[in-house]
Protein backbone atom coordinates (compact mmCIF):
# COMPACT_ATOMS: atom_id res chain seq x y z
CA UNK A 1 0.00 0.00 0.00
CA UNK A 2 2.85 2.38 0.84
CA UNK A 3 4.41 1.54 -2.53
CA UNK A 4 1.24 2.45 -4.45
CA UNK A 5 0.80 5.71 -2.56
CA UNK A 6 4.41 6.70 -3.18
CA UNK A 7 4.16 5.90 -6.88
CA UNK A 8 0.90 7.79 -7.30
CA UNK A 9 2.35 10.77 -5.43
CA UNK A 10 5.40 10.76 -7.68
CA UNK A 11 3.13 10.62 -10.73
CA UNK A 12 1.12 13.66 -9.68
CA UNK A 13 4.26 15.59 -8.72
CA UNK A 14 5.59 14.91 -12.21
CA UNK A 15 2.46 16.23 -13.95
CA UNK A 16 3.17 19.97 -13.40
CA UNK A 17 6.64 19.59 -14.90
CA UNK A 18 5.29 17.74 -17.90
CA UNK A 19 2.53 20.29 -18.32
CA UNK A 20 5.09 23.09 -18.19
CA UNK A 21 7.06 21.44 -20.96
CA UNK A 22 3.83 20.87 -22.88
CA UNK A 23 2.76 24.49 -22.69
CA UNK A 24 6.13 26.23 -22.78
CA UNK A 25 6.27 28.75 -25.65
CA UNK A 26 9.59 27.44 -26.99
CA UNK A 27 8.49 27.39 -30.61
CA UNK A 28 11.61 28.89 -32.14
CA UNK A 29 13.03 26.38 -34.67
CA UNK A 30 16.40 26.54 -32.91
CA UNK A 31 15.09 25.68 -29.43
CA UNK A 32 11.94 23.59 -29.94
CA UNK A 33 11.24 21.01 -32.60
CA UNK A 34 7.80 19.31 -32.52
CA UNK A 35 8.12 15.57 -32.76
CA UNK A 36 6.25 14.55 -35.94
CA UNK A 37 5.99 10.92 -34.82
CA UNK A 38 4.24 11.88 -31.57
CA UNK A 39 1.14 13.62 -32.90
CA UNK A 40 -1.91 13.33 -30.57
CA UNK A 41 -4.26 10.42 -31.19
CA UNK A 42 -7.11 11.65 -33.38
CA UNK A 43 -10.03 9.29 -33.89
CA UNK A 44 -10.77 5.66 -33.06
CA UNK A 45 -8.06 3.39 -31.67
CA UNK A 46 -7.67 -0.13 -30.28
CA UNK A 47 -5.26 -1.17 -27.53
CA UNK A 48 -4.22 -4.39 -25.84
CA UNK A 49 -1.85 -5.15 -22.98
CA UNK A 50 -0.62 -7.94 -20.74
CA UNK A 51 1.74 -8.34 -17.82
CA UNK A 52 2.28 -8.93 -14.11
CA UNK A 53 -0.41 -8.50 -11.44
CA UNK A 54 0.12 -8.32 -7.69
CA UNK A 55 -2.93 -8.63 -5.45
CA UNK A 56 -2.53 -7.51 -1.84
CA UNK A 57 -3.49 -9.85 1.02
CA UNK A 58 -7.14 -9.49 2.06
CA UNK A 59 -8.75 -9.90 5.46
CA UNK A 60 -11.74 -12.22 6.02
CA UNK A 61 -14.59 -11.87 8.49
CA UNK A 62 -16.70 -15.01 8.91
CA UNK A 63 -20.42 -14.29 9.28
CA UNK A 64 -23.58 -16.28 9.94
CA UNK A 65 -23.04 -19.99 10.46
CA UNK A 66 -19.29 -19.77 9.90
CA UNK A 67 -19.04 -17.13 12.64
CA UNK A 68 -20.68 -19.56 15.06
CA UNK A 69 -18.36 -22.36 13.94
CA UNK A 70 -15.15 -20.48 14.73
CA UNK A 71 -16.54 -19.18 18.01
CA UNK A 72 -17.34 -22.79 18.94
CA UNK A 73 -13.70 -23.78 18.42
CA UNK A 74 -12.43 -21.11 20.83
CA UNK A 75 -11.29 -19.11 17.79
CA UNK A 76 -12.50 -15.82 16.41
CA UNK A 77 -14.06 -14.96 13.10
CA UNK A 78 -11.10 -12.97 11.67
CA UNK A 79 -8.97 -14.62 8.97
CA UNK A 80 -6.94 -13.63 5.92
CA UNK A 81 -5.90 -14.71 2.44
CA UNK A 82 -2.72 -14.13 0.45
CA UNK A 83 -2.01 -14.59 -3.26
CA UNK A 84 0.91 -15.48 -5.49
CA UNK A 85 2.08 -13.12 -8.23
CA UNK A 86 -0.25 -13.40 -11.20
CA UNK A 87 -1.24 -12.24 -14.65
CA UNK A 88 -3.29 -9.39 -16.18
CA UNK A 89 -4.62 -8.88 -19.70
CA UNK A 90 -6.71 -6.05 -21.14
CA UNK A 91 -8.43 -4.94 -24.36
CA UNK A 92 -9.85 -1.49 -25.06
CA UNK A 93 -11.50 0.57 -27.78
CA UNK A 94 -11.19 4.33 -27.50
CA UNK A 95 -11.32 7.71 -29.18
CA UNK A 96 -8.67 10.45 -29.26
CA UNK A 97 -9.69 14.09 -29.60
CA UNK A 98 -6.47 15.30 -31.22
CA UNK A 99 -5.47 17.47 -28.24
CA UNK A 100 -3.99 14.84 -25.91
CA UNK A 101 -7.28 13.71 -24.37
CA UNK A 102 -8.50 10.14 -24.92
CA UNK A 103 -11.48 8.17 -23.64
CA UNK A 104 -11.99 4.43 -23.85
CA UNK A 105 -14.00 1.40 -22.75
CA UNK A 106 -11.77 -1.36 -21.39
CA UNK A 107 -12.22 -4.99 -20.44
CA UNK A 108 -9.62 -6.64 -18.19
CA UNK A 109 -8.85 -10.05 -16.67
CA UNK A 110 -6.61 -10.92 -13.70
CA UNK A 111 -5.57 -14.29 -12.30
CA UNK A 112 -3.74 -15.04 -9.03
CA UNK A 113 -3.28 -18.39 -7.28
CA UNK A 114 -4.06 -18.62 -3.57
CA UNK A 115 -0.91 -18.60 -1.47
CA UNK A 116 -2.18 -18.37 2.10
CA UNK A 117 -5.30 -19.04 4.18
CA UNK A 118 -4.86 -18.20 7.84
CA UNK A 119 -6.10 -16.29 10.85
CA UNK A 120 -9.12 -17.28 12.94
CA UNK A 121 -6.81 -17.25 15.97
CA UNK A 122 -7.82 -18.58 19.39
CA UNK A 123 -9.45 -16.22 21.88
CA UNK A 124 -7.53 -15.18 25.02
CA UNK A 125 -7.30 -18.14 27.39
CA UNK A 126 -8.94 -20.51 24.91
CA UNK A 127 -7.84 -23.68 23.17
CA UNK A 128 -5.02 -23.75 20.59
CA UNK A 129 -5.71 -21.63 17.50
CA UNK A 130 -6.80 -22.75 14.07
CA UNK A 131 -4.14 -23.68 11.50
CA UNK A 132 -4.59 -24.98 7.94
CA UNK A 133 -2.94 -27.40 5.56
CA UNK A 134 -3.63 -28.44 1.95
CA UNK A 135 -4.27 -24.80 1.01
CA UNK A 136 -5.44 -24.42 -2.58
CA UNK A 137 -7.46 -22.11 -4.80
CA UNK A 138 -7.31 -19.05 -7.02
CA UNK A 139 -8.85 -15.65 -7.60
CA UNK A 140 -10.06 -14.46 -11.01
CA UNK A 141 -11.17 -10.87 -11.60
CA UNK A 142 -13.13 -9.59 -14.62
CA UNK A 143 -13.42 -5.82 -15.01
CA UNK A 144 -15.19 -3.33 -17.29
CA UNK A 145 -13.99 0.29 -17.04
CA UNK A 146 -14.57 3.70 -18.59
CA UNK A 147 -11.15 5.40 -18.71
CA UNK A 148 -9.89 8.91 -19.47
CA UNK A 149 -6.25 9.56 -20.46
CA UNK A 150 -4.10 12.59 -21.18
CA UNK A 151 -1.03 12.30 -23.43
CA UNK A 152 1.75 14.86 -22.93
CA UNK A 153 3.16 16.02 -26.28
CA UNK A 154 6.80 16.63 -25.42
CA UNK A 155 9.21 18.41 -27.78
CA UNK A 156 11.77 16.52 -29.81
CA UNK A 157 14.77 18.15 -28.17
CA UNK A 158 17.23 16.41 -30.52
CA UNK A 159 16.33 16.58 -34.23
CA UNK A 160 17.76 13.15 -35.05
CA UNK A 161 16.38 11.33 -32.01
CA UNK A 162 15.11 7.98 -33.44
CA UNK A 163 12.48 7.21 -30.75
CA UNK A 164 9.58 9.45 -29.71
CA UNK A 165 8.33 9.24 -26.11
CA UNK A 166 4.81 10.25 -25.06
CA UNK A 167 4.12 10.07 -21.28
CA UNK A 168 0.50 9.75 -20.21
CA UNK A 169 -1.66 9.53 -17.11
CA UNK A 170 -5.23 8.36 -16.69
CA UNK A 171 -7.99 7.17 -14.42
CA UNK A 172 -11.14 5.12 -14.68
CA UNK A 173 -14.22 3.80 -12.93
CA UNK A 174 -16.17 0.64 -13.57
CA UNK A 175 -17.31 -2.69 -12.20
CA UNK A 176 -15.28 -5.77 -11.31
CA UNK A 177 -16.50 -9.33 -10.77
CA UNK A 178 -14.31 -11.46 -8.47
CA UNK A 179 -14.45 -15.26 -8.61
CA UNK A 180 -12.80 -16.43 -5.38
CA UNK A 181 -12.05 -20.10 -4.71
CA UNK A 182 -10.12 -20.61 -1.46
CA UNK A 183 -9.95 -23.78 0.63
CA UNK A 184 -7.82 -25.23 3.41
CA UNK A 185 -8.06 -28.15 5.84
CA UNK A 186 -8.17 -27.24 9.52
CA UNK A 187 -5.72 -28.56 12.11
CA UNK A 188 -5.14 -30.05 14.65
CA UNK A 189 -8.41 -31.91 15.15
CA UNK A 190 -11.48 -32.66 13.11
CA UNK A 191 -9.80 -32.19 9.72
CA UNK A 192 -12.66 -29.95 8.63
CA UNK A 193 -12.19 -27.96 5.43
CA UNK A 194 -12.94 -24.25 5.13
CA UNK A 195 -13.99 -23.34 1.60
CA UNK A 196 -15.03 -20.12 -0.16
CA UNK A 197 -16.33 -20.65 -3.69
CA UNK A 198 -18.39 -17.73 -4.94
CA UNK A 199 -18.49 -14.84 -7.44
CA UNK A 200 -19.50 -11.30 -6.55
CA UNK A 201 -19.26 -7.89 -8.19
CA UNK A 202 -18.37 -4.46 -6.84
CA UNK A 203 -17.69 -0.88 -7.95
CA UNK A 204 -14.03 -0.53 -9.01
CA UNK A 205 -11.63 2.30 -9.76
CA UNK A 206 -8.12 2.64 -11.16
CA UNK A 207 -5.28 5.03 -11.90
CA UNK A 208 -2.67 4.63 -14.65
CA UNK A 209 0.69 6.15 -15.58
CA UNK A 210 2.80 5.12 -18.53
CA UNK A 211 4.73 5.99 -21.67
CA UNK A 212 3.98 5.31 -25.33
CA UNK A 213 6.63 4.82 -28.01
CA UNK A 214 5.17 5.65 -31.46
CA UNK A 215 6.45 3.46 -34.29
CA UNK A 216 7.45 5.88 -37.07
CA UNK A 217 7.35 3.21 -39.77
CA UNK A 218 3.66 2.44 -39.07
CA UNK A 219 1.60 5.62 -38.52
CA UNK A 220 -0.83 5.16 -35.63
CA UNK A 221 1.02 2.23 -34.05
CA UNK A 222 2.65 2.61 -30.62
CA UNK A 223 4.15 0.34 -27.97
CA UNK A 224 3.15 1.17 -24.38
CA UNK A 225 4.59 0.48 -20.93
CA UNK A 226 2.22 1.13 -18.02
CA UNK A 227 1.74 0.86 -14.28
CA UNK A 228 -1.79 0.78 -12.91
CA UNK A 229 -3.42 0.54 -9.51
CA UNK A 230 -6.90 -0.98 -9.38
CA UNK A 231 -9.14 -1.29 -6.32
CA UNK A 232 -12.64 -2.49 -5.45
CA UNK A 233 -14.95 -1.97 -2.53
CA UNK A 234 -15.50 -4.56 0.22
CA UNK A 235 -17.16 -7.78 -0.96
CA UNK A 236 -19.10 -10.67 0.56
CA UNK A 237 -18.66 -14.31 -0.55
CA UNK A 238 -20.62 -17.42 0.41
CA UNK A 239 -18.65 -20.24 2.00
CA UNK A 240 -18.87 -23.45 4.00
CA UNK A 241 -17.03 -25.57 6.55
CA UNK A 242 -17.13 -29.27 5.62
CA UNK A 243 -16.14 -32.41 7.52
CA UNK A 244 -13.84 -35.11 6.03
CA UNK A 245 -16.86 -36.90 4.57
CA UNK A 246 -17.93 -33.77 2.69
CA UNK A 247 -20.86 -32.90 4.92
CA UNK A 248 -21.52 -29.27 5.75
CA UNK A 249 -20.61 -28.47 9.33
CA UNK A 250 -21.36 -24.77 8.97
CA UNK A 251 -22.60 -22.57 6.16
CA UNK A 252 -22.52 -18.81 5.95
CA UNK A 253 -20.61 -16.00 4.32
CA UNK A 254 -17.25 -14.26 4.51
CA UNK A 255 -16.85 -10.49 4.26
CA UNK A 256 -13.61 -9.78 2.37
CA UNK A 257 -11.69 -6.50 2.59
CA UNK A 258 -11.23 -4.14 -0.33
CA UNK A 259 -9.10 -5.42 -3.20
CA UNK A 260 -5.83 -3.66 -4.09
CA UNK A 261 -4.10 -4.67 -7.33
CA UNK A 262 -0.79 -3.37 -8.71
CA UNK A 263 -0.02 -4.17 -12.35
CA UNK A 264 2.86 -3.61 -14.76
CA UNK A 265 1.92 -4.04 -18.42
CA UNK A 266 3.40 -3.97 -21.90
CA UNK A 267 0.96 -3.27 -24.71
CA UNK A 268 0.28 -2.02 -28.23
CA UNK A 269 -2.08 0.69 -29.46
CA UNK A 270 -3.23 1.38 -32.99
CA UNK A 271 -5.00 4.60 -34.05
CA UNK A 272 -6.87 4.14 -37.33
CA UNK A 273 -6.91 7.72 -38.65
CA UNK A 274 -3.40 8.78 -37.77
CA UNK A 275 -1.71 10.68 -40.61
CA UNK A 276 1.90 9.82 -41.51
CA UNK A 277 4.48 12.25 -40.18
CA UNK A 278 5.41 14.99 -42.67
CA UNK A 279 8.58 14.51 -44.66
CA UNK A 280 11.20 16.98 -43.42
CA UNK A 281 12.24 19.61 -45.93
CA UNK A 282 15.99 19.65 -46.46
CA UNK A 283 17.47 23.06 -45.83
CA UNK A 284 20.89 23.87 -47.22
CA UNK A 285 23.26 25.28 -44.64
CA UNK A 286 23.65 29.02 -44.83
CA UNK A 287 27.03 30.21 -46.11
CA UNK A 288 29.40 31.55 -43.53
CA UNK A 289 29.08 35.27 -43.13
CA UNK A 290 30.13 37.98 -40.77
CA UNK A 291 27.80 38.34 -37.79
CA UNK A 292 24.94 40.70 -38.54
CA UNK A 293 21.75 41.71 -36.78
CA UNK A 294 18.88 39.34 -37.45
CA UNK A 295 16.42 40.69 -40.04
CA UNK A 296 13.76 37.92 -39.99
CA UNK A 297 11.86 36.72 -36.93
CA UNK A 298 9.43 33.80 -36.57
CA UNK A 299 6.60 33.94 -34.04
CA UNK A 300 4.83 30.61 -33.48
CA UNK A 301 1.29 29.96 -32.22
CA UNK A 302 -0.60 27.12 -30.51
CA UNK A 303 -3.13 25.13 -32.54
CA UNK A 304 -6.19 27.20 -33.56
CA UNK A 305 -4.98 30.16 -31.47
CA UNK A 306 -4.06 33.75 -32.27
CA UNK A 307 -3.07 34.94 -28.80
CA UNK A 308 0.57 35.62 -27.99
CA UNK A 309 2.58 33.41 -25.64
CA UNK A 310 5.32 34.77 -23.41
CA UNK A 311 7.96 33.46 -25.83
CA UNK A 312 6.16 35.12 -28.75
CA UNK A 313 6.17 38.48 -26.96
CA UNK A 314 9.90 38.08 -26.31
CA UNK A 315 10.62 37.52 -30.01
CA UNK A 316 8.44 40.51 -31.02
CA UNK A 317 10.28 42.67 -28.48
CA UNK A 318 13.62 41.68 -30.04
CA UNK A 319 12.29 42.59 -33.49
CA UNK A 320 11.04 45.96 -32.24
CA UNK A 321 14.38 46.79 -30.63
CA UNK A 322 16.40 45.75 -33.69
CA UNK A 323 14.14 47.73 -36.05
CA UNK A 324 15.57 50.88 -34.45
CA UNK A 325 19.14 49.64 -34.41
CA UNK A 326 19.23 48.73 -38.12
CA UNK A 327 17.07 51.75 -39.08
CA UNK A 328 14.46 49.63 -40.82
CA UNK A 329 12.24 51.66 -43.15
CA UNK A 330 9.58 49.00 -43.53
CA UNK A 331 8.46 46.10 -41.31
CA UNK A 332 6.58 43.31 -43.07
CA UNK A 333 4.27 41.16 -40.90
CA UNK A 334 2.93 38.03 -42.64
CA UNK A 335 0.52 35.54 -41.01
CA UNK A 336 0.35 31.81 -41.82
CA UNK A 337 -1.63 28.70 -40.73
CA UNK A 338 -1.28 24.94 -41.06
CA UNK A 339 -3.62 22.79 -43.18
CA UNK A 340 -5.95 21.59 -40.39
CA UNK A 341 -9.31 23.22 -41.18
CA UNK A 342 -10.77 24.85 -44.27
CA UNK A 343 -8.72 27.28 -46.39
CA UNK A 344 -11.23 30.06 -45.65
CA UNK A 345 -10.97 29.60 -41.90
CA UNK A 346 -7.16 29.39 -42.03
CA UNK A 347 -7.04 32.62 -44.06
CA UNK A 348 -8.97 34.45 -41.32
CA UNK A 349 -6.90 32.80 -38.59
CA UNK A 350 -3.60 33.88 -40.20
CA UNK A 351 -4.98 37.44 -40.49
CA UNK A 352 -5.78 37.52 -36.76
CA UNK A 353 -2.29 36.25 -35.94
CA UNK A 354 -0.63 38.90 -38.10
CA UNK A 355 -2.75 41.67 -36.58
CA UNK A 356 -1.91 40.47 -33.05
CA UNK A 357 1.83 40.71 -33.84
CA UNK A 358 1.44 44.14 -35.46
CA UNK A 359 -0.48 45.43 -32.44
CA UNK A 360 2.29 44.22 -30.12
CA UNK A 361 4.93 46.01 -32.24
CA UNK A 362 2.93 49.25 -32.03
CA UNK A 363 2.60 48.81 -28.27
CA UNK A 364 6.40 48.52 -28.09
CA UNK A 365 6.87 51.87 -29.89
CA UNK A 366 7.04 50.94 -33.59
CA UNK A 367 5.16 53.36 -35.84
CA UNK A 368 2.04 51.78 -37.35
CA UNK A 369 2.74 53.50 -40.67
CA UNK A 370 5.99 51.53 -40.97
CA UNK A 371 4.21 48.17 -40.67
CA UNK A 372 2.57 46.28 -43.53
CA UNK A 373 0.28 43.36 -42.63
CA UNK A 374 -0.49 40.39 -44.92
CA UNK A 375 -2.18 37.02 -44.42
CA UNK A 376 -1.41 33.94 -46.53
CA UNK A 377 -3.51 31.29 -44.74
CA UNK A 378 -2.22 27.81 -45.54
CA UNK A 379 -0.80 28.72 -48.98
CA UNK A 380 2.85 29.18 -47.92
CA UNK A 381 3.76 26.38 -45.49
CA UNK A 382 7.19 26.20 -43.91
CA UNK A 383 6.83 22.39 -43.88
CA UNK A 384 4.91 20.68 -46.68
CA UNK A 385 2.07 18.47 -45.34
CA UNK A 386 -1.05 16.74 -46.56
CA UNK A 387 -4.40 18.47 -46.18
CA UNK A 388 -5.79 18.31 -42.64
CA UNK A 389 -2.42 17.69 -40.96
CA UNK A 390 -1.50 19.83 -37.95
CA UNK A 391 2.04 21.19 -38.27
CA UNK A 392 3.32 23.52 -35.48
CA UNK A 393 5.99 25.14 -37.70
CA UNK A 394 3.32 26.31 -40.15
CA UNK A 395 1.34 28.13 -37.42
CA UNK A 396 3.48 31.27 -37.54
CA UNK A 397 3.90 34.96 -38.26
CA UNK A 398 7.04 36.16 -40.04
CA UNK A 399 8.46 39.58 -39.18
CA UNK A 400 10.86 40.92 -41.84
CA UNK A 401 12.83 44.14 -41.33
CA UNK A 402 13.57 45.95 -44.61
Which residues are within 8 A (CB) of 324 and not within 5 positions of it... i.e. 6 or more apart? Answer: none
Domain 2-271 top-level CATH class: mainly beta
Quote the pTM value. 0.61
- Alpha-carbon gap, residue 245 to 243, rounded angstroms: 5
Per-residue pLDDT of the chain (402 residues; tens, 9 = 90+): 444 444 444 444 444 444 444 444 333 443 444 555 678 899 999 999 999 999 999 999 998 888 888 777 666 788 889 999 999 999 999 999 989 999 999 999 999 999 988 887 764 444 455 667 888 999 999 999 999 999 998 765 555 555 678 999 999 999 999 999 999 887 665 578 889 999 999 999 999 999 999 988 888 999 999 999 999 999 999 999 888 888 888 889 999 999 999 999 999 999 998 766 655 556 667 666 554 454 788 999 999 899 999 999 999 998 888 887 877 778 899 999 999 889 999 999 999 999 999 999 999 988 888 889 999 999 999 889 888 889 999 999 998 888
Which residues are within 8 A (CB) of 268 and not within 5 positions of it... i.e. 6 or more apart? Answer: 47, 48, 49, 221, 222, 223, 224
Query: Can you identify the CATH homologous superfamily of domain 296-401?
Result: OmpA-like domain (3.30.1330.60)
The predicted structure's pLDDT at residue 278:
59
The predicted structure's pLDDT at residue 21:
41
The predicted structure's pLDDT at residue 276:
66
The predicted structure's pLDDT at residue 27:
39
Q: Where are the domains of the chain?
A: 2-271, 296-401
The predicted structure's pLDDT at residue 330:
86
The predicted structure's pLDDT at residue 16:
42
The predicted structure's pLDDT at residue 336:
93
Amino acid sequence: MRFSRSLLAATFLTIPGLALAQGSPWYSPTSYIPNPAAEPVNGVYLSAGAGWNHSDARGLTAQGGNDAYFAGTSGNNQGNTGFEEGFIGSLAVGYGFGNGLRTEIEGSYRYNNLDRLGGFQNRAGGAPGVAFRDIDGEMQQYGVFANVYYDFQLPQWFPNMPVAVVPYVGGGVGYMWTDLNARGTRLPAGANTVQIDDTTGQFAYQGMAGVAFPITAVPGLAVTAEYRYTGTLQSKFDGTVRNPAGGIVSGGSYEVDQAHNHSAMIGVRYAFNQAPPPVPVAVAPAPAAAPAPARTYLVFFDFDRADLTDRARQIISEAAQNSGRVQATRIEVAGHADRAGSPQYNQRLSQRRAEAVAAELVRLGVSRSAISVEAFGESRPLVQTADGVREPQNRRVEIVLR
